[in-house]
Amino acid sequence: MVYYKEVPEVNKRMVAGYYLFLCLIGFAILLGPTGSGIPITLVGTSDRDTHEALLAQPGWGDDPASCDGAAPCHGDRYGNWSMTGHATAAWWNATSGHIVIGEIEMGFNAYNNTVGQDNLFNDTYCVECHTTGYNATDGSYDFLGVNCFSCHNISAAEWVDYSGATCGTTCHSGDLLSDHPQQFGVWNRSVHANSLTDLRSSDHAATYCMHCQATEAFIEHQNPGELATSSPAVNGTRLSSGAFPVDGPYTSISCPACHAVHSSWVEDGSPAYIRAVNATELCGVCHVGDHHPMYTVWLGGPHNLAGVECTDCHGYDLTVASGDPFMNHTFVVKPDIACGQEECHDAEGAEEWALGQLEMIEDAFEALTHEIHTEATALQAIIDAYNATEGADHAVANHVADIIEEVEDVVHLYEADRSMGFHYPHMIFEELNAAFVDLVDAKAYFYENTDTGPTVTVTVTVTNTVTGTPPPPAGDTLLLIGGSVGGIVVGLVLGILVGRRR
C-alpha cells in the first residue's frame, strides 16, 4: 500500500484550459453550423406567442374548432368537450331550420353563423347561458353553445380560474327558489366551499391534507398533468417536492375539482364529467381514514350493496319553485326527502318505516356510544387514582389503560363517520358492542388483579317506537341489534362477573 505524504500539486493552467475548452464546445453547439444560433425563449412564451398570432387573424375566436383545426394544439380536449352538455347547450338543426337548446326546438330560424349576428333568442334568460360571447347591449353573441372561450381567457395567456366563479357568474348561479341550474349558489353554502378556511383554522393543517382541501391539489392528485400551471394561482407556488403549501394562493374544493369538462371519467358518458367512475368513488378519494372514514364504513353496507351512491342521498333535493329533483351541492342529507324518492322507499308506508328505522339507529348509536364513553372515563379515573397509590401494580393498570384507549378509538372512528350508525348498522353495532365487552372485561380484570373493590354499573336505555308498514323480509333483522343493545350488554356484563366470581 502506498501512502502519500503530501497533496499533489494541481496544475491550475491545465484545469482552466479544460473548462475553457468545454465552454467553447457548448458555444459552438449553440451557434450551429450556420452561425444563426438557436433562439432561447422562456417557458410558456411560445404558447403565448402562438395565441397572440392566431388572435390577430380576422374572425379567429368565434369558433371553438380554431383550437382543433386552425391550431391543432388541443385536439384531445376539443374532442372530449364536443361530447359534453356544454357543446350542445345550443345548436343549429339544419334539417328543421331551428335553433335547439338541449332537446327543445326553439323555432328561431335566422341563424347565420357569423360574429355579431342578430338576436335570435327573444328570451335573454336563455341566450345568456346557452351561447358564448353574449352581448347584453345588443343581444348578439359569438357562437351557439358554451365553448372554450366561455371559460378560457386566452387574450393574455392560457389559464383557467379554479374558483368556480366562471361557472357561477351567470349560468349555474340560481338558488333553491329557482327552477334552473343552481349548483354554484347552493355550493357556496357547503363545507366544500370553506374547505381551505377550515383547514387553515385547524391545529393540524399540513401539505398532505391539500389534495382534499384545495381544487388545484385535487386535480393534480386525480389527473396528473392536467393542471394548468400557467394559472396565476398555481405557477411558482408549489414546493420543490411538488406539494401544495397550506398557505398558497389556492381555492377551496370547487366545481373544477370534481368536474373535468375536458375528459369523461364516467363510464356511462354522463355530462357531469366527474373525476371518477361514479360519485361514490369520487367521494371516496377524500372521505377515508381515521378522521373521516365515511367511504370505508359505507362499503359493504346494505345501501351500498343495493347500488345506492353517496349523492343519491346526500345530493337529493327538490326545488322550492317547481318541486322537481335536483342535485343539492351542499350535500346535506334531508332524510324526509331522500328516503321517499322514486325507486327507494316510495311505496305506501315504506317511507315512514324507513325514517323510523333511521331514528332507531341514531337513538341506539347515541345511547351506546355515550355509555361506552361514560364507562371508559370512569374507569380511567379509577386507574389514574390507583396508579398514584404506593405499591400499585402499574403493569396491570397500564394494560387496562391501553384497552380503554383501543375502545375509545373504535368509538371515535364511528363517530367520525358521522352517520350515527346508518352507513353500515350491522358492522358498526357489532364492533361497538365488542368494544364495550372488552371494556367491561378489562374492568373485571383490573379488580381481580388489584386490591380495589369491584364496582360495575352498566345502563343502556334505548326507547323508540317504530310505526308504519313492516319492512320487507330481507330487512327483518336490519336493526334488531339496535333495539336490544341494553339486553346484550347487561347480559354480557353479568355473565362475565358471575364467571369471574366462580
For the residues of 225-273, what is the DSSP string, one character each? T-S-TTSTTTTTTS-TTS---TTSS---S-HHHHB-TTS--STT--TT-
pLDDT reported for residue 451: 74
Reading the block at residue 382, the C-alpha cell is 379509577
Give per-residue pLDDT as tens, 449-464.
997 665 545 454 444 4
Give per-residue pLDDT as tens, 293-348.
999 999 999 999 999 999 999 999 988 777 888 889 999 999 999 999 988 999 98
Q: Does 28 have pLDDT greater than 60?
A: no
pLDDT: which is higher, 179 or 323: 323
Q: Does 271 have pLDDT greater than 80?
A: no
Among the residue ranges 2-11, 35-44, 144-153, 206-215, the one predicted with the least confidence is 35-44
When the pLDDT of each residue in the chain is averaged and rounded to a whole number, the result is 76
Rounded CA-CA distance 313/328 in Å is: 10
Average pLDDT over residues 214-225: 90
pLDDT reported for residue 129: 83
Beta-carbon-side half-sphere exposure of residue 279 (alpha carbons within 13 Å): 17
Average pLDDT over residues 432-437: 98
Rounded CA-CA distance 55/497 in Å is: 85
pLDDT reported for residue 315: 92
Among the residue ranges 86-95, 185-194, 255-264, the one predicted with the least confidence is 86-95
pLDDT: which is higher, 306 or 473: 306
Rounded CA-CA distance 244/120 in Å is: 46
Rounded CA-CA distance 30/40 in Å is: 10
Q: Does 285 have pLDDT greater than 90?
A: yes
| 131: confidence class by pLDDT, cuts 50, 70, 90 | confident
Q: Does 137 have pLDDT greater than 60?
A: yes
Reading the block at residue 156, the C-alpha cell is 393574455
pLDDT: which is higher, 159 or 226: 226
The answer to whether the CB of 435 falls within 8 A of the CB of 411 is yes
Among the residue ranges 36-45, 101-110, 135-144, 284-293, the one predicted with the least confidence is 36-45
Q: Does 218 have pLDDT greater than 80?
A: yes
Q: Does 90 have pLDDT greater than 90?
A: no
pLDDT reported for residue 193: 95
| 486: confidence class by pLDDT, cuts 50, 70, 90 | very low
Q: Does 199 have pLDDT greater than 60?
A: yes
